[in-house]
Amino acid sequence: MAELGIEVKDLNFRWANGETVIKSCSLRIPKGEFWMLLGTNGSGKSTLLRLLAGLLAPESGDIQVLHPVGFVFQNPDHQLVMPTVGADVAFGLVEEKLPIAMVRARVKEALGAVNLLSLQRRPIYALSGGQKQRVAIAGALARQCEILLLDEPTALLDPDSQMELVKSVRQLVKSRGITALWVTHRLDELDYCDGAFLLEKGSLLDKGEPEPLKQRLMQLHNGGVKE
Ligand SMILES: Nc1ncnc2c1ncn2[C@@H]1O[C@H](COP(=O)(O)OP(=O)(O)OP(=O)(O)O)[C@@H](O)[C@H]1O
Ligand SMILES: [Mg+2]
């Protein structure tokens, strides 16, 4: 069987207030594949991503994830820590103790992938929300991670930037053999993934290849609005 990047078996999680938000969740993503995670607000997508990254501890179940893990939070203000765009992307490389020329090359490649090369010297406070989101993504891309978890990375982007970003992240992830899980509400992004999961009320309701899943989701949606 193909090597797995992410494997979750019978995962359960509840918050301190007793609310169970992940219920008997099992999923597998083969190494090097680019998968998406869909589901309505509050279905548990961000919680599941945090569990995969080890930021939360499960109540029960088993999580096997290759390391290191890169994480892009739903709100970029939660992860941008340096004063300028270039410095922030370079910050994540400190642990790798690379020669300065290599750091520059990685920062350039990552900023190129999110189409922000021209803003390398810009202060973080002088960026729009969508630009901040792309800096956060570049920070994760610059590190040599095995796994990339992205929580609604296109939520703040206009439609052109959205499709550009999904294409370039897919290209970079594929060229490096990274296993990625990308949370989204936008069905048009499904065209760029290898497969997708649908989470509802903490349980996986559906999964599979993008096109048939997209059709099922559209039917579900149309069914919901018909009289
Ligand atoms: N720190 C917390 N303490 C208690 N409950 C929380 C906490 N964070 C989230 N929740 C609850 O857990 C459930 C799942 O939240 P989560 O953020 O994982 O949803 P989501 O699918 O990412 O939603 P969205 O699409 O809005 O981002 C929600 O009912 C939410 O209110
Ligand atoms: Mg969320």
- Average pLDDT per run of 10 along the chain, which is 227 residues long? 93 94 97 97 97 96 96 92 97 91 95 94 95 93 93 91 90 92 96 96 94 88 56
Cα separation, 85 vs 219, whole angstroms: 42
- 110 and 184 belong to one structural domain: no
Helix axes 129-142, 100-113, angle to 10 degrees: 130
Q: Are strands 195-200 and 34-38 parallel, antiparallel or unpaired?
A: parallel
What's the domain count of the chain?
2
Distance from residue 131's CA to the centre of ligand 2 (Å): 19
Is any atom of ligand 1 closer than 6 Å to the C-beta of 42? Answer: yes
Give the distance from CA 66 to its chain's centroid.
15
At 179, give phi and psi (nearest 5°): -95, 125
Domain of residue 119: give its range.
Answer: 75-144
pLDDT score for 219:
84
- 108 and 200 belong to one structural domain: no
CATH number of 39's domain = 3.40.50.300
Q: Give the residue carrying structure tokens 């350039």.
A: 108
Last residue of a domain, one of 144, 166, 189: 144
Is any atom of ligand 1 closer than 6 Å to the C-beta of 44? Answer: yes
Last residue of a domain, one of 144, 162, 194: 144
What contacts 201, CB < 8 A, 6 or more positions away? 23, 43, 44
- 105 and 152 belong to one structural domain: no
Of 36, 38, 43, the residue with max ligand 1 atoms within 8 A of its CB, to mutate for a pocket test, comes to: 43
User: Half-sphere exposure (CA, 13 Å, Cβ side) for 44?
Assistant: 25
- 27 and 56 belong to one structural domain: yes
Is any atom of ligand 1 closer than 6 Å to the C-beta of 41? Answer: yes
- 50 and 156 belong to one structural domain: yes
Distance from residue 46's CA to the centre of ligand 2 (Å): 4
User: How many other CB atoms are there within 10 angstroms of residue 72's CB atom?
Assistant: 25
Last residue of a domain, one of 125, 144, 163: 144
Atom of ligand 1 nearest to the CA of 185: 25
